[in-house]
Every structure is written in C-alpha cells, then in structure tokens.
Amino acid sequence: MSREPRSAIIHSPALLSGSIRVTEHAHSRGRRLFSGTRLKLLLFPLLHWLVKHTSVTIALVPMRVLTGVMRPLYYWRSNPLRRSCEDVCSIARRAGHRHDPAQVYRQFLRNAVGVLENYFLLYRHGIERVSMRIQLQEEDARMIRELAQQHGSVILAVPHNIASALSGLRLNQSFPLLAVARNSPTIARTRVTLDFFERMQVPVLMVRDGNPFELSRQLFRAAGEGHVIA
C-alpha cells in the first residue's frame, strides 16, 4: 500500500522567496532498501544532530565508520563510487592529465570527513573560522566581479554536493551570491540543508517541484540585482 504524500511549508531567512513547500512522495525515501537516497535520509539528520550537540570527535564517528567500510569496497568492481572515479580519470586522460582512480577514491573519502569537520566548525565557531579553510584566489574572485560588472551577472556551474555548497560561504564573501539547488526530497533533509545555508548566510533558491515561471522570475530578478548565480 503506497504512502500518501505529505507536505510542509518551511520558512527560512536563507530562502530567496522566504518559504518553500516540500512534498514527500512514496519514492522520496528511496526505491531500494540500500539506495543512496535512503542512506542520506538516515545519515544526514544524524550527523546534523551530532554536529549540534556533541564534540567533533563524536560527531565524526559515523562518517569515519562509513569511510572505513568504503575503503575496502573499492575492490568491488561494481561499486558506483569506484566507477565514478574511473570515469573522472578517463575524462581527464583525454585532456592529457593522468590520475590514479584508487587515489581519487581515497581522496574523496578523506574529503568527506573534512567537509563534516568544516560543518562542525561552522556551527561552533561561525563563518570566519571556516572561511579561512576555503581557498579562493583573489585573482579568480576579481575576474568574476569584473565579469558581473561588465555583463550584469554571472552564472557559475558547480558540482552538486555538500562540499561545493560549503564553498558558497567563501564565494558570498567575495561577491553577492545566489545558490540555486534542487532541494532534498524529504522534509527533514530540507530543514537540515536550510539550517546550513542560514549559518553560512548564503541566500538559496530551491527549485524542486517549483513553478517554472515563478522560479524564472526570481532568477532574472536576482541577476538584475547583480548577483552571481551558482
């Protein structure tokens, strides 16, 4: 028997529109028992609670356990993360760059722990403590500012992951930024995501199930106000 859709209106100062309606459907929690969606559904709220209420050592335990399990799984040839790393290296090789997929895989796992540590610092010490850990060359920031001044706005294409979301904190300190994201399919995860954007003081436009005309209007308005859109 399928579960009835459940909706909630979430208000947040981080939202460009001030509020968003999130609707959970029967498949919002993942179609398979061990799907990535179901893993994130369980893991993200737990990590969020640990970051808010425990020490960094305790908060990192679930991620360290997960990455510890993932390391030997590299040798499972059907591992989706391994295949993604191999694909990335294959693309880089066409451009003349050589990388070891196993090394990229291990670095990805180390980065996952580092990102969670940065979120802990954000909660406990604020944006200035985290900002110094995010690298943005001044010449790159200046180039984006000049392009925005010349053309009215700039659109940045960035990876859709929690690490790139955190980099928005540093970008927003260099020029007015609007993050555009496809919000999580569940109410709980959307609340967690918005909490992070509030603490980063980065405005965000969430687009899942949104009205295309209203979303376009908000995007054009932000571009007209000189925002860099990521």
Q: What is the pLDDT of residue 26?
A: 63
What pLDDT shows up at residue 158? Answer: 85
**pLDDT at residue 1 in the model:** 45
- The number of helices, as runs of H, and strands, as runs of E, in the chain is 10, 6
Quote the pLDDT of residue 24. 82
pLDDT tens, per residue, the chain with 230 residues: 456 778 889 999 999 989 999 888 766 555 554 555 667 777 788 888 888 888 988 988 988 998 999 999 999 989 999 999 999 999 999 999 999 999 999 999 998 899 889 989 998 888 888 888 888 899 999 999 999 999 989 999 887 776 778 888 899 999 999 999 888 888 888 998 899 999 999 999 999 888 889 999 999 999 999 899 99
Q: What is the DSSP letter of 32?
A: S
40 to each of 24, 44, 71, 215, how far by Cα in Å? 15, 5, 18, 26
Q: Which two tokens stand for residue 188?
A: 């709980």
CB neighbours of residue 141 within 10 Å: 15
Question: For residue 19, what is the enclosing H or E element?
Answer: strand 19-24
Q: Distance between CA atoms of 105 and 122, rounded to whole angstroms? A: 26
**Whole-number pLDDT of residue 4:** 72
Give residue 23's pLDDT. Answer: 86
pLDDT score at 200: 92
Q: What does the angle CA 40 – CA 109 – CA 45 come to, to the nearest 5 degrees? A: 25
Give one DSSP letter per residue of 120-172, joined into a string.
HHHHHH-HHHHHTTS---HHHHHHHHHHHHHHS-EE----SSHHHHHHHHHHH
b/e burial code for range 121-132 (CB count within 10 A of at least 16 → b)? bbbeeebeebbe
pLDDT of residue 3: 62
Amino acid 177: pLDDT:
94
